[in-house]
Chains A and B, each alone.
Chain A
Amino acid sequence: MADAVITGGLHRVETVMGIPVGIDVRDDGIDPAALDRAFAHLHAADEAFSPYRAASDVRRLDAGTLAPPDARPEVRVVLARCERLRRATGGWFDVRATGRLDPSGFVKGWAVDGAVAVLRAAGARNLCVHAGGDVRVLGDRAPGRPWRIGVQHPRERGRVAAVLHAPPDGLAVATSGAYERGAHIVDPRTGRPPSGVLSVTVAGPELGTADAYATAAFAMGSDAPAWTATLGPYAALTILAPGRVLSTPGMDALRAA
């Protein structure tokens, strides 16, 4: 059923970190300045973490011109979390997989999680944020109607391969695949792109972690589905090939009936 045109709430799309980020708040009466603060949070994360900005903490750490103890506190926190994720994924998620320090695979989701916290603090309870393929939702799209998240079909741009219904307490969803930017994810053990898998989608409580897990699973190639069943509160959907989709029990519960 098509919805009527949505008249209330707030909606804006901006480019942050070179990707489009959209915020869609469905609550009425939220101060529009909350959107400004949420986007400011995302831009600040870009300044600290961008591997493309010569003045970012990450670039200076990589170049050795910034000592780790002198980095911003949030940079130290993020790099510590990335290190824990590297261990939790057996090295498959590695911010140095390309030989350069690049925590973007975690930072994008982590920054969106922070922007959602900003919006919550402003009173928003029903919202959706997308950031270049990452998704974080909270509450409902309309009273009693859950957010519906499409999983991009890896071969057909205009279609989705699955639809997830988010629980009202929120959901973070990240997808890794080579169909948008080519083979940018490499198996840290071979330095080569993975094979045997088209995309991995991970859903759970936090977007940064979901992003890291999706990246790690995609790098594993055809071993991804088995590993994704070990991720506790994070559910996964792996598309091995058109017509060959594997989902964990948690993902089955999210998939629309």
Chain B
Amino acid sequence: MDAGDLARRAAPLAIATAGVAALLHSVRARPEPLPPDASVPKIEAGPTTKTIRGVSTRRPTATGRVRSGLSDAFTTPFSFIQVRVTFTGRELTRVETVEMTGTGARTQAINARAEPRLRAGSADIDVVTGATYSSQSYRKALQSAIDKARHG
């Protein structure tokens, strides 16, 4: 099974970017580091956070030992990305994109926040940014209430 073959198998898994194909190639080219059991390796993200960006699975038609492994970290202009692939026997059954993010200037990464902080009213803001609204919807908009208050 060559890298192109692997990429074609990955396509139905709905991860079809060239970057992922390249990563799969790097994984395929280095089969030895795959751990020998079914446990998914823990990702050491250090002080950074990790985000599962995409997960694709399919029911294996093959049977056999389940193995999974992580690719080398793939540094993009914005973050580290690793791809975790799982094989059942010789069949690729799961691909996860794992993004390791942090605040370091070197990685220029994205920070995930668990919850948007919601403010109940307009008392502590001066103006609102949002998707473009029309003059018709303005009167119902938060901005309208702020403008009324400003006008006294």
Whether A and B are associated in the same complex: the answer reads: yes
Give residues in A with beta carbon < 8 Å to B: 1-2, 5-7, 11, 13, 15, 18-20, 22, 24, 108, 128, 130, 132-135, 137, 141, 147-154, 156-163, 173-181, 199, 201, 225-230, 239, 242-249, 252
Q: Are B152 and A181 in contact (CB under 8 A)?
A: no
User: In angstroms, how far is the closest chain B Cβ from the Cβ of A125?
Assistant: 16
- Is B122 close to A, CB under 8 A? yes
Per a CB cutoff under 8 Å, which of B79, B110, B117, B127 touches A130? Answer: B127
Q: Are B151 and A133 in contact (CB under 8 A)?
A: no
A108 to B117, CA, bound (A): 29
Determine the chain B residues whose CB is within 8 A of the CB of A176 once the complex forms.
Answer: 131
Beyond A150-B127, A226-B110, A248-B110, whether A159 also contacts B118 by CB under 8 A is: yes
15 more A-B residue pairs beyond the given contacts A148-B127, A230-B108, A239-B116, with a C-beta to C-beta distance below 8 A = A2-B123, A11-B147, A133-B128, A135-B129, A147-B127, A152-B142, A158-B120, A161-B116, A226-B53, A242-B116, A245-B115, A246-B112, A246-B113, A248-B108, A248-B111
A16 to B117, CA, bound (A): 32
Beyond A148-B124, A227-B78, A246-B111, whether A163 also contacts B119 by CB under 8 A is: yes
- Size class of B's contact patch? 35 or more
- Is B103 close to A, CB under 8 A? yes
A75 to B36, CA, bound (A): 64
Beyond A150-B142, A229-B109, A230-B108, whether A245 also contacts B116 by CB under 8 A is: yes
A199 to B116, CA, bound (A): 13
Q: Are B118 and A153 in contact (CB under 8 A)?
A: yes
